[in-house]
Amino acid sequence: MASLTTPLSQVHSLSSSKPSLRLPSPSLPLQFRRKPSPPMPMKAVVLVSATAAAETSNKKRYPGESKGFVEEMRFVAMKLHTRDQAKEGEKPVTEPEEKPVAKWEPTVDGYLKFLVDSKLVYDTLEKIIDEAPYPSYAEFRNTGLERSASLAKDLEWFKEQGYTIPEPSSPGRTYSEYLVELSQKDPQAFICHFYNIYFAHSAGGRMIGRKVAEMLLNKKELEFYKWDGDLSQLLQNVRDKLNKVAEEWTREEKNHCLEETEKSFKFSGEILRLILS
Ligand code: HEM
């Protein structure tokens, strides 16, 4: 079965990929967890079929499923946090940006690189949603979560303070190119990134913004961390739309979307790491 680390090009050639899952089993849809088993005696076959039938009728087969697909995406995402980042997190710390934010030693230059690369990613996402190569993307126009314009204001502010705004660097450029490619050929995987980027920013991203502003910017609150209107309501509206779009997906398409979460963390982690450069 495809693993969370399977390259995109191999995601559909399931038989050829070896499982290399790092997530604990409860975070994964059931079929990702089963190992091939030897032939079973008849009684066992009956028992297993009965269990499978019960599972089919039980709407809670996938963690979060009964609350809607966003809850399933959230469940997988939360497991990919470290314990320090979030209490539901389970991932061991392996990268510098996964250390507790309180122990970070950020620099203004690094933070500027992070803002510039983040802007490129939001510009790209917002253009894709605007052009909507798949009609379902149009649901996500003007949600109020857009960040491109607010980041433009922040970069202008840094310029006024005398900073030189760098060009986008490799992590932002690579992620943007990947998003464009995905948006045209793999809408379920694209939606996974859409969800993770906007919702991560509204949660951990805000906390990071606050801490870094304390450390580097004399507590100046950037526009990146301000939304017009009630943020929790804006997020809820987007959750409702995501759930509605995912209702049209098959179970396989949903699983494919969930599998993409790890890539989303990898790309975003590389952009976050710029803060520490
Ligand atoms: C230093 C890095 C990070 C920190 C400190 C952090 C922290 C957090 C925290 C505290 C929450 C809220 C948990 C709760 O609701 O109880 C959260 C939620 C979340 N994070 Fe992160 N996170 C980080 C990186 C990321 C990354 C890289 C992604 C994916 C790109 C991500 C995706 C999410 C998502 C999807 C949620 C759920 C938001 C919601 O339910 O509305 N996070 N994070």
Task: Write the pLDDT tens digit of every residue in 115-161.
Answer: 999 999 999 999 999 999 999 999 999 999 999 999 999 999 999 99
Q: Quick one: DSSP state of residue 121?
A: H
Report how far ligand 1's centroid is from the alpha carbon of 265 (Å): 10
Mutation pick for ligand 1 pocket among 199, 237, 258, 266 (CB with most ligand atoms within 8 Å)? 199
Render pLDDT for 158-201 as a digit per residue (tens, 0 to 9).
999 999 999 999 999 999 999 999 999 999 999 999 999 999 99
Q: Which CATH architecture has domain 20-276?
A: Up-down Bundle (1.20)
**What residues does ligand 1 touch, defined as CB less than 6 Å away?**
74, 77, 81, 85-86, 97, 101, 196, 199-200, 202-204, 207-208, 235, 264-265, 268-269, 272
Report how far ligand 1's centroid is from the alpha carbon of 40 (Å): 43
- Alpha-carbon distances of 260 from 39, 40, 47, 81, 118, rounded to whole Å: 33, 34, 33, 15, 19
Report how far ligand 1's centroid is from the alpha carbon of 245 (Å): 22
* pTM of the full structure: 0.82
**Token pair of 91 as six digits:** 């991932």
Q: Which amino acid is at 42?
A: M
pLDDT confidence of residue 37: 44
Report how far ligand 1's centroid is from the alpha carbon of 233 (Å): 18
Would you list the DSSP string of 27-82? GS-HHHHPPP-----HHHHHHHHHHHHHHHH-TTSSTTGGG-HHHHHHHHHHHTSB
